[in-house]
């Protein structure tokens, strides 16, 4: 069996954390079986033996997209704290569009937090 990449390990850790805290769901129902949680973790991480390499890559890419978008159970639970530091819940693209409408100079080199601060002034 090949070694897991760092991204795959992080995904497995996140899924098992969700299981441990009762946040892991499949088809709208909480997962209570540890073996099922492990199977879900390996599937999401793209390390399943039963899937092809291409399918595993697709699964990992889809999972990472979900994590970046904040669509995991952990991100939804912690959403309140994260939103406070990054603005008012808008994406960087939305903040950039607003800065462009207001004509804020230097906006293309600003990160999300800087755009949020510039828009507040």
pLDDT tens per residue, range 70-84:
888 777 776 644 444
* Interhelix angle 6-20/34-45, nearest 10 degrees: 150
Q: Are residues 53 and 87 in the same domain?
A: no
Report if residue 44 sits inside a domain: yes
Question: Higher confidence at residue 73 or residue 6?
Answer: 6
Judge whether 13 lies within some domain. yes
Question: DSSP label at 50?
Answer: S
Q: What is the DSSP annotation of 66-105?
A: HHHHT-SHHHHHSHHHHHHHTSSS--HHHHHHHHHHHT-T
Question: Residue 23's closest CA among 89, 76, 68?
Answer: 76
Q: Are residues 36 and 63 in the same domain?
A: yes
pLDDT digits (tens, 9 = 90+) for 13-53: 999 999 999 999 988 899 999 999 999 999 999 998 888 99
Q: What 3-state DSSP class applies to 29?
A: strand
In a shared domain, residues 32 and 70: yes
pLDDT score, position 121:
84
Domain that holds residue 46: 6-77
Q: Are residues 73 and 24 in the same domain?
A: yes
Instruction: Clarify whether residues 10 and 57 are in a common domain.
Output: yes
> Do the domain assignments include residue 1?
no
Tell me: do 15 and 63 sit in the same domain.
yes
* Same domain as 88, residue 69: no
Evaluate if pTM is beyond 0.95.
Answer: no
Question: Could you give the count of Cα atoms lying within 13 Å of 95 in the half-sphere of its Cβ?
Answer: 21
Domain end position, chosen among 45, 62, 77: 77
Q: How confident is the model at residue 61 (pLDDT cuts 50, 70, 90)?
A: very high
Number of structural domains (the chain) is 2
């Amino acid at each position: 069996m090949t070694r897991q990449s760092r991204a795959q390990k992080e995904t497995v850790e996140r899924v098992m954390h969700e299981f441990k805290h009762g946040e892991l769901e499949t088809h709208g129902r909480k997962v209570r079986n540890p073996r099922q949680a492990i199977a879900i973790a390996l599937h999401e991480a793209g390390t399943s033996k039963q899937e092809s390499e291409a399918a595993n890559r697709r699964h990992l890419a889809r999972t990472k997209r979900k994590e970046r978008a904040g669509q995991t159970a952990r991100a939804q639970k912690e959403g309140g704290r994260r939103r406070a530091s990054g603005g008012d819940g808008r994406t960087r693209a939305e903040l950039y569009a607003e800065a462009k409408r207001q004509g804020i100079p230097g906006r293309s080199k600003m990160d999300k937090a800087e755009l949020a601060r510039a828009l507040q002034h």
